[in-house]
Each structure stands twice: as C-alpha cells, then as structure tokens.
C-alpha cells in the first residue's frame, strides 16, 4: 500500500465525532441522510442494533464510514421476503459514506466489502437498502454483485416518502 493511502480499520468510540462531521458534509453535499437525524451521534454510533463498524482513515483523519447492524424498520419485510430468511439471520450494511474529496478511489467498495465479510463471518446474510435516487450508491452495489430483491417506500419522520430498493449479496 503506498504511503498516505487510506486504510480501513474498526471504528473506535473516539472516532464518532469525526464520523458525525463527515456525515454533515455528506448530508450537505449529497442529501444523505435525507433528513438530519435528531441525534446524529446516536444515528452514527448505532446503539443496541450495532454489530460492528469501520472507518477509512488517512493521515489520522476519518474519510469514510460503514456499519453492520441487526435489521430494524420498514425494509425488514422486504429483506425477509427477498432472502427467505428471518430477521435474526440478516446483517444490515448501513451508514456508508465517503468524504467528497476521496470519492471514486475504491474506499466505498472497500468499506462495503469489510462489512459484508464480517456479516458472512458471523453467519448473517448481508442485506442493505438504498434510496433509488442515490445513483452512485446503487451503481456501487450493482458493480459489487449485490442483487435487488424488492422495492418499497421509505418513510421519513416528516411523513414524506422516497422510493427505495432492498439488496442482498
């Protein structure tokens, strides 16, 4: 690996503030997440649902993030129907975001693979969901061999809804 190139490592508690700052940039630039969470630290940290999380780090700075969690929310029915598995058998890859100035360098792919690998290691079938308007992410998942297993409407706290797609690997 060339000196100075980003590396993927497990997230530590002290990374959370940097992850929230990175999420702010992503929210402003990409509209992800669509609505800023009421408690952004908790949204990133993951709470009881969290299985594991990773960051991409370059020169001591967090430039990417992904998490693996247990399933929850309105995508669960689509994941269960699409995989034929119960929720307890699924690992949800989520909270994937990369610093705008580090895009198209393979970091999103590496983070996605780290989470999928850990999911499989724990005997959990990897699944994820994405708003269909997030075309870069959709393209990444397709390029990585994830298969679409169903569409659903993702409801936002303010009552709006966005078309979303569920995937499995």
Ligand X SMILES: CC(C)(COP(=O)(O)OP(=O)(O)OC[C@H]1O[C@@H](n2cnc3c(N)ncnc32)[C@H](O)[C@@H]1OP(=O)(O)O)[C@@H](O)C(=O)NCCC(=O)NCCS
Binding site for ligand X (CB under 6 A): 26, 30, 32, 96-98, 103-109, 130, 134, 136-137, 139-140, 143
Q: Name which of 87 and 136 has its Cβ closer to ligand X.
A: 136
Closest approach of ligand X to the CB of residue 64, in Å = 7
- Of 17 and 143, the one with the shorter C-beta distance to ligand X is 143
Complete DSSP assignment for 57-112: EETTEEEEEEEEE---STTHHHHHHHHT--GGGEEEEEEEEE-GGGTTSSHHHHHH
Query: Smallest distance from the beta carbon of 9 to ligand X, in angstroms?
Result: 16
- Taking the least distance from each CB to ligand X, the nearer of 86 and 139 is 139
């Amino acid at each position: 690996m060339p000196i100075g190139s980003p590396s993927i490592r497990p997230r530590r508690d002290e990374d959370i503030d940097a992850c929230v700052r990175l999420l702010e940039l992503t929210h402003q630039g990409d509209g992800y997440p669509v609505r800023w969470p009421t408690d952004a630290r908790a949204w990133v940290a993951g709470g009881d649902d969290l299985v594991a999380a990773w960051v991409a780090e370059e020169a001591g700075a967090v430039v990417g993030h992904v998490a693996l969690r247990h399933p929850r929310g309105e995508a669960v029915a689509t994941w269960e129907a699409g995989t034929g598995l119960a929720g307890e058998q699924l690992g949800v890859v989520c909270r994937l975001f990369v610093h705008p100035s580090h895009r198209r360098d393979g970091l999103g792919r590496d983070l996605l693979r780290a989470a999928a690998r850990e999911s499989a290691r724990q005997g959990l079938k990897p699944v994820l969901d994405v708003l269909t308007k997030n075309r870069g992410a959709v393209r990444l998942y397709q390029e990585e061999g994830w298969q679409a297993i169903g569409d659903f409407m993702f409801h936002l706290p303010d009552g709006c809804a966005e078309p979303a797609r569920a995937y499995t690997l």
